[in-house]
Structure 1
Amino acid sequence: MGGGGSSKSTNKATQAENLRQANIGRNVDLVNQVYGSPQREADYNDFLGASRSFYRQNLDRQKATADRSLKFAMARNGLAGGSASVDANRRLGEDFQQGVLSADRLAQKAVNDLRNADEQSRLNMISLAQSGGDMTTGGMRAAQQLQANLAGARAGMNSDALGDVFSGLSSVYETSRNNAAERRGNRDIYNLLYTPGFGQGSR
């Protein structure tokens, strides 16, 4: 009889363990289902597009400023349309293309960081499920975590991340300003020296 009681206890323990493992399996499946949903893939694509747009707008603003600065610099030195202007504009175009690539790299990195954040939180929730944690609201918690990750990724976009894409043209602007200042100085000296009556003294 004692042996029968022991057998019943073993069966109950086995049943309890089987039930626990089944619950864990269901919870893990639920977590994976939420994190691997088609909607989340759509979220990644939307975020990638938004990131590209964000960084491209920053690049376009920089280019507009660089275009104006270069135009004024060339006009200030009487170089508009000349070979120096052509060379400077070619450099600006090359810098812009590099900026486009940098903007895309930043957007790709942003979405990869979001994927990594999702994967880390997915593993955390699976670990909770496997440790027997209460997962009665697991699906809701997973969805909330996904939204938190997306919000964090959006907040992490930095308008300064591109840096000064057209900094290579700064020497052109500086030279232009220096030459203009030198011409103004020479003109002032010329006007002073050749003003009628200058240095003749009073008679």
Structure 2
Amino acid sequence: MCLSEIGIIGGGDVRACGRRSHYQKSGPLYKGGGSDKAARLEAQRREIAEAAREAILEEFADAGRESLYNQHRDAVYDLNTQEVNRQAEEAERANRFALARNGLLGGSVNIDANEELNRRTNEGLMQAQGLADDAAASLRTQDENTKNSLLSMANNGINAAQASQLASEGLKANLQNAAANEAVAQVGNLFGDMQNAYLYNQAVKQNANLYNPYLAQQQKDPTAPQNSYGGTVS
């Protein structure tokens, strides 16, 4: 109730009672519309963000990535397996020729060499499988990181069309990066120390008596040259 209404201030000047009309019985003098506008803007933002998230998830769901992960794994495995087999063939051939030059084909050293070749070949194949599994897992992780990054961006104002395009480009970029693993074998040098009859040389050092029946006798004979000569061999 204003002062003019209780007789303290005379007159009917409406300014004495603020801006409330005679139709307004109660409530604030001024009614603002800011909160309604903010609520509408927030609802609109959420709607756009939700549409963007749906577009991102749909793009990833329709990309058929599971089959691509398997294809990528197979490609990396095949590449490294071929490299293992190539190295194994070269090592077997070089070792066989070296053993033949020393007259050891068919002997125990030859058997040991073949066993070592098989062992290293199997290790190489296991390594190839591990590289393939890691490559597929890496591609999957890159896709997950891309998706999570885009979902975060969906809350920052990108619309559904932009989100869909960014998702498509991200998936394509991840696959291109992964293709590098399909181009270069990564198993390394598996048989380098077996070239030139490595196993033969090792076997001769460890089992000298087996391949030189006169060595033991020479070592015991004080008149043998290697036991009586006091100089050095150049």
Match of 1:130 in 2: 155
SS for the counterpart of 1:81 is coil
1:12 to 2:64 alignment: no
Deviation at 1:99, TM superposition (A): 0.3
SS for the counterpart of 1:136 is helix
Distance 1:82 1:174, change over 3 A: closer
Match of 2:114 in 1: 89
Please give the residue correspondences for 1:48-63 in structure 2 after superposition, counting only pairs within 5 Å. 48-63=73-88
Distance 1:173 1:159, change over 3 A: farther
Gaps of 5+ in 1: 180-203
1:161 to 2:163 alignment: no
SS for the counterpart of 2:48 is helix
Cα distance in 2 between the residues matched to 1:148 and 1:34: 14
Cα distance in 1 between the residues matched to 2:40 and 2:94: 78
Count matched residues. 176
Match of 1:188 in 2: none
Asked if 2 retains the 8 angstrom alpha-carbon contact of 1:58 and 1:159, the reply is no
**What does the per-residue CA deviation read over 1:43-73, in whole Å, with 9 as the maximum and x for residues that have no partner?**
1111111111111111111111112112111
- Let me know the Cα RMSD of the aligned residues: 2.5
Higher RCO (CA < 8 A, seq sep 6+): 1
Structure whose CA Rg is larger: 2
Match of 1:195 in 2: none
2:133 is matched with which residue: 89, 104, 108?
108
Deviation at 1:27, TM superposition (A): 1.1
Cα distance in 2 between the residues matched to 1:5 and 1:47: 64
Please give the residue correspondences for 1:143-154 in structure 2 after superposition, counting only pairs within 5 Å. 143-154=168-179
SS for the counterpart of 1:137 is helix
1:35 is matched with which residue: 60, 63, 70?
60
Asked if 1 retains the 8 angstrom alpha-carbon contact of 2:98 and 2:197, the reply is yes
Cα distance in 2 between the residues matched to 1:3 and 1:103: 79
Gaps of 5+ in 2: 1-19, 21-27, 205-234
SS for the counterpart of 2:190 is coil
Cα distance in 2 between the residues matched to 1:118 and 1:100: 27
Distance 1:127 1:83, change over 3 A: same
State percent identity of aligned pairs. Answer: 28
Cα distance in 2 between the residues matched to 1:159 and 1:77: 37
1:67 to 2:87 alignment: no
TM-score of the pair, normalised by structure 2? 0.67
In terms of fraction of residues, the more helix-rich structure is 1
TM-score of the pair, normalised by structure 1? 0.76
Deviation at 1:159, TM superposition (A): 3.1
Cα distance in 2 between the residues matched to 1:109 and 1:69: 32
Asked if 1 retains the 8 angstrom alpha-carbon contact of 2:53 and 2:163, the reply is no
